[in-house]
Chains A and B, each alone.
Chain A
Amino acid sequence: MRRETPKSIADYTPLFFPAVMLVVFFVVPFSTMIAVSFFKRDPAGFYTPDFVVDNYARFLSAFFGRVLGFSLMLSVIVAICCVAIAFPFTYLLTRRPRAVQTVWLVCLLSVLSLSEVIIGFAWSTLFSRTAGITNLFVWLGVMQEPVALLPGFGAVLTGMVYQALPYTILVLYPALVRLDPTLLEAARTLGASPIHAFFNVVTPALRNTIVATLIMVFVFALGSYLLPQILGRPQHWTLSVLITDQAIYQSNMPFAAAMAVFLVLISLALVGLTLLVGRRENAL
């Protein structure tokens, strides 16, 4: 099929709807946020339109630097864990009969219907001393007495990986299903073991998919603000938690907006950097 270049305005009409959606749901809110981030904070009210950089200046401190660093690190770890678990899982899933795959995918979709609140409370119960899984270990004789597994970094990580895993699998699934089986057959014919073939053929063939999935999970995890509160100690609170505090509890919209803009810029920069590195390596 030959693709023709659009010639008249009418040929562009299919683009209008997505363009309008993008403007209404992304460009307008984001521009508003950027504008508010330069407004002047009025402690006695909300804010007054102005152009000040105080909000950004306040953010540039060692304290917020640490919180930002932690948030980015946490999101990177969540992304890596998710892909490390989801990639082999999805690969094995695509080797199963169609009916088995459907059951698994329906179960995964049902996990998506759980809200962050429910996931948070469920894990806080599972990790609790009074009702948690350690009681099971005690009953099995593995442990002496039940302990609380939260709050802590491990609990936060578990909750966030659990929340992001279904998305990861659903993003990886189409690419793995479409993977040409003859590639593997060729590798096996040439004497590679299944594990060898998986790491040396399947993984490199889907490198771009993996990078794209990592970025998606990273961005997804960056916005999490409830799980770190429910499952973590204050030192595990992400920048998103502090943004919520400023916006909802302190009525300091300009500062909250400035922090949010900063977070978006940093994550865009990281995503851009990843893509750039990827392209260079591909070019080699």
Chain B
Amino acid sequence: MKRILNGQVSRRTVLGAGLAGAGMLAMPSILHAQDKSLKIGVYGGYFKKSFDENIFPEFTKATGIAVESIAEPTGEAWLVQLEQAAKAGQAPADVSMMSQTSTLKGLGTELWTPIDPARIKSFDSLLPHFSSKYPDGRIAGVGAVAWYITLVTNTDVYKEPPTSWADMWDPANADKLGLLALASNSFLLEVTSTTFMGGTNALDTEEGILKAMEKLAELKPNVRLWYRDEAQFEQALKSGEIPMGQYYHDVTGLAAADGQPVRSTFPKEGGIQDSGNWVLSRASEKVDEAHVFIDYMSQPAIQGLMSRKVGTAPTLKKDVLDLTAEEFAAVSSEIPPILPRYDLYTTKSDWINQKWTELIVAA
């Protein structure tokens, strides 16, 4: 589902996106043949389906701009394709949904056309971390969708919800946790530094990262499963086999609504908030239409619609939204989120990955 934004994909998602991609090539879904149009890259599968059903038709109705939605391949493949195409002056999509890490990688080659904040009416209501900037301050990307990874528990095993990420380190929880297996999709370094080291700034230096890893190593006896495949953990959480762990807030909420004995808790240190941006390829000539689109998508009403229909966390400040308290709680929280240090996964990715694997795999 949306995990693909991160570039961390299960084989299932890759396959799904591949099929969706093949389908797109065969039959581009042009909603209305009108003069003004925009090609928009969205991740294949769940996202594309939700957007095609709930969001794009409304946009075309409101603005008269026809949307041709393109199923993006997952991971960094789309970034590479956009980059290669831009060198040849082509834009396979004008606007694309892009993971934070890939957005950062595109800054280096000036792949993104700067977005004029004056033309985005809700720009000032955007939460500050939802605008991605060039070093000189130009806006490269505007938040598109966001979601939370929180501390989840089985309600039969844990009668009281946990309150802090630190509960994962409790020796009483030996062999009870399910955690994501990779540094760049679990964001556990950020969780550790926020919980024990005063914030993610502690990860600025390699010494800081190694210290966080040392603290994480203490967690290992409590971890029963390091998962790559979501289904693997979700099933074990529902049955109580692995009664605690980190998981997606929205999916856990859906399971609880289905009557499963699970709950998602925002720890007092905050949930992990991951997200993707709208970016505009420098090879695109549809600069005006792209601004109209990003402006439209950033409206409070549309952000509310997306929270209700797609299950994403809003990118705007809470007070401008029309969500009820329950609707807001279903997708977000007022506790400040833990924001992943995406910069680390662009500049130090191989080093972190190596140290991380050694940390996890060592007996």
CB-CB contacts of B117-155 with A at 8 A, as 1s and 0s? 000000000000000000000000000000000000000
Question: Is A151 a contact of B350 with CB atoms below 8 Å?
Answer: no
Question: Is A45 a contact of B350 with CB atoms below 8 Å?
Answer: no
Residue from the list A130, A235, A250, A251 in contact with B363, Cβ < 8 A: A235
Distance in angstroms between the alpha carbons of A235 and B185 in the assembled complex: 20
Cβ of A191 under 8 Å from chain B = no
Cβ of B108 under 8 Å from chain A = yes
Complex interface: chain B residues within 8 A of A58 (CB): 354
Question: Is A249 a contact of B361 with CB atoms below 8 Å?
Answer: no
Question: Is A63 a contact of B358 with CB atoms below 8 Å?
Answer: yes
Question: Is A234 a contact of B14 with CB atoms below 8 Å?
Answer: no
Question: Is B241 a contact of A128 with CB atoms below 8 Å?
Answer: yes
Distance in angstroms between the alpha carbons of A17 and B303 in the assembled complex: 59
Cβ of A229 under 8 Å from chain B = yes
Complex interface: chain A residues within 8 A of B181 (CB): 234, 245
Identify the B interface with A (CB < 8 A).
7-9, 11, 14, 75-76, 79-80, 83, 105, 108-109, 181-182, 184-185, 224-226, 228, 232, 236, 239-241, 346-347, 349-350, 353-354, 357-358, 360-363
Closest to B106 in A: A44
For chain A residues 231-280, which have a beta carbon within 8 Å of chain B?
Answer: 234-235, 237, 242, 245, 248-252
Complex interface: chain A residues within 8 A of B80 (CB): 45-46
Residue from the list B79, B224, B349 in contact with A43, Cβ < 8 A: B349
Question: Is A131 a contact of B361 with CB atoms below 8 Å?
Answer: no
For chain A residues 27-67, which have a beta carbon within 8 Å of chain B?
Answer: 41, 43-46, 58, 63, 67
Residue from the list B108, B185, B241, B362 in contact with A249, Cβ < 8 A: B185
Identify the A interface with B (CB < 8 A).
41, 43-46, 58, 63, 67, 121, 124, 128-131, 148, 151, 229-230, 234-235, 237, 242, 245, 248-252
Complex interface: chain A residues within 8 A of B361 (CB): 63, 67, 234-235, 237, 242
Complex interface: chain B residues within 8 A of A230 (CB): 232
Question: Is B184 a contact of A249 with CB atoms below 8 Å?
Answer: yes
**5 A-B contacts, Cβ less than 8 Å apart?**
A237-B361, A245-B181, A249-B184, A250-B184, A250-B350
Nearest-CB distance from A252 to chain B (Å)?
A: 7
Distance in angstroms between the alpha carbons of A245 and B10 in the assembled complex: 11
Residue from the list B108, B239, B363 in contact with A44, Cβ < 8 A: B108
Complex interface: chain A residues within 8 A of B350 (CB): 41, 43, 250, 252
Question: Is B349 a contact of A250 with CB atoms below 8 Å?
Answer: yes
Q: A249-B182, A251-B75 are in contact. Are A43 and B360 (CB under 8 A)?
A: no
Closest to B107 in A: A44
Nearest-CB distance from A178 to chain B (Å)?
A: 41
Closest to B9 in A: A248
Q: A128-B239, A234-B226, A248-B75 are in contact. Are A44 and B105 (CB under 8 A)?
A: yes
Closest to B182 in A: A249
Question: Is B240 a contact of A130 with CB atoms below 8 Å?
Answer: yes
Complex interface: chain B residues within 8 A of A43 (CB): 346-347, 349-350
Distance in angstroms between the alpha carbons of A10 and B37 in the assembled complex: 60
Closest to A248 in B: B9
Beyond A43-B349, A249-B7, 18 additional contacts (C-beta under 8 Å) are: A43-B347, A45-B80, A45-B105, A63-B358, A121-B232, A128-B239, A128-B241, A130-B239, A148-B224, A151-B225, A234-B360, A234-B361, A235-B363, A242-B361, A245-B181, A250-B184, A250-B350, A252-B350
Distance in angstroms between the alpha carbons of A5 and B9 in the assembled complex: 54
Distance in angstroms between the alpha carbons of A128 and B238 in the assembled complex: 13
Q: A245-B182, A251-B76 are in contact. Are A151 and B224 (CB under 8 A)?
A: yes
Distance in angstroms between the alpha carbons of A237 and B346 in the assembled complex: 26
Distance in angstroms between the alpha carbons of A124 and B8 in the assembled complex: 24
Closest to B359 in A: A234
Nearest-CB distance from B211 to chain A (Å)?
A: 20
Nearest-CB distance from B291 to chain A (Å)?
A: 27
Closest to A237 in B: B361
Question: Is B182 a contact of A45 with CB atoms below 8 Å?
Answer: no
Nearest-CB distance from B126 to chain A (Å)?
A: 26
